[in-house]
Amino acid sequence: MVRTLEPFEYYEPTSIKEASDLLQSFGEKARIIAGGVDLLARMRRREITPDALVSIKFIPGLDFVEEADGQLRIGALASIRSVELSKVVQEAYPLLYEAVHSIHSIQVKNTGTLIGNLCIATPASDIAAALIALDAKVKIAGPSGERTVPLEEFYLGVRKTVLQPGEFVTEVMVPRPSSEAKGAFLKLVRNATDIAKVNVAVLLTVKNGVCEDARVVLGSVAPVIFRAKKAEEALKGKSLDEKVAVEAAAAAAEEAKPITDIRSTAEYRREMSRVLTLRAIRRIMEG
């Protein structure tokens, strides 16, 4: 049942330091809010009842999507929609664009932030799958200063991240893929606005028909989004052909640890992990 929000203490820090200090002083009792799509929905469902919300919405300098020094930088207040509309994302980071574009609700994309989508740590995040394939890193601000963590190492479990009390993500950085790198993002969903049953992001660097590097990332089929390392090994150094693609897809399905829930059975998710991985590799081969 959905109810109105319970009252909470509300703070509007105007600097990263101030926000971090507030979050640290409240510890588990406070939540950070930017777009609020996931947070307020969970509060309505009484899944969480924080004593305080710390809004970062009025901290200057966090709303940007830009490329500098060969990497894309997205700030904590950039909406999902602003990433989708970014020309540089569309042209130089098509894998990220595909994942963002696969989220249908324009309302969710305008209201929610891209970094919020990463930080809710859902294993179904389309954006996180694509960004792990692209080797993105997150910049984390906290009481003892800044640190940078590869997104691949950011997640510890369902809704669990490496963030310590007082820490929050201020930025995500994505290295520009080489001109030989080609990506594909695919997902299986019940309807346009539901979350993925399985999603797959593949980025292959292919030179003269040989796969020099491979990143195969699967979401929604394990407690955290993961790189299917065996599938990657099955691709690396090989001449890309149908046989190699079939082997890699089978390896990816073996590495999945899916569960059965209202959206799918574990068996179906595992089989679809294979099918989507195969389709993604085929799409890259077809150019």
Kindly list the residues in this chain that would bind another protein in the complex (CB under 8 A).
Answer: 2-13, 18, 21-22, 33, 35-37, 40-41, 44-45, 52-53, 55, 57, 81, 104-108, 110-111, 192-193
Pick 15 or 178: Cβ nearer another protein: 15
Closest approach, Cβ 22 to another protein, in A, equals: 6
- Which is nearer to another protein, 58 or 243 (by Cβ)? 58
Q: What is the DSSP letter of 209?
A: T
Rounded distance between C-alpha atoms, residue 98 and residue 200, angstroms: 11
Q: Considering the complex, what minimum distance in angstroms separates the CB of residue 28 from another protein? A: 18
d(CA 37, CA 150) in angstroms, rounded, equals: 25
- Tell me if 287 sits within 8 A of 261, measured CB to CB: no
Q: How far is the CB of 63 from another protein (least distance, A)?
A: 13
Whichever of 81 and 197 has its CB closer to another protein, that residue is 81
CB of 50 to another protein, least distance (A): 11
Residues 98, 118: Cα–Cα separation, whole Å: 16
- Per DSSP, the three-state class of 216 is strand
Tokens found for residue 133: 């394939």
Asked if residue 102 lies in contact with residue 185, where contact means CB atoms within 8 angstroms, the answer is: yes
Q: For another protein, give the closer residue by CB, 101 or 176.
A: 101
Angstrom distance (rounded) from CA 27 to CA 21: 10
Tell me the HSE value of 284 on the side-chain side, using a 13 A CA sphere: 34
Nearer to another protein, 53 or 248 (CB): 53
Among candidate residues 280, 269, 152, 122, the one with its CA nearest the CA of residue 204? 280
Q: How far is the CB of 194 from another protein (least distance, A)?
A: 9
Provide, rounded to whole angstroms, the least separation between the CB of residue 233 and another protein: 37
Measured from the CB atom, the residue of 81 and 227 that comes closer to another protein is 81
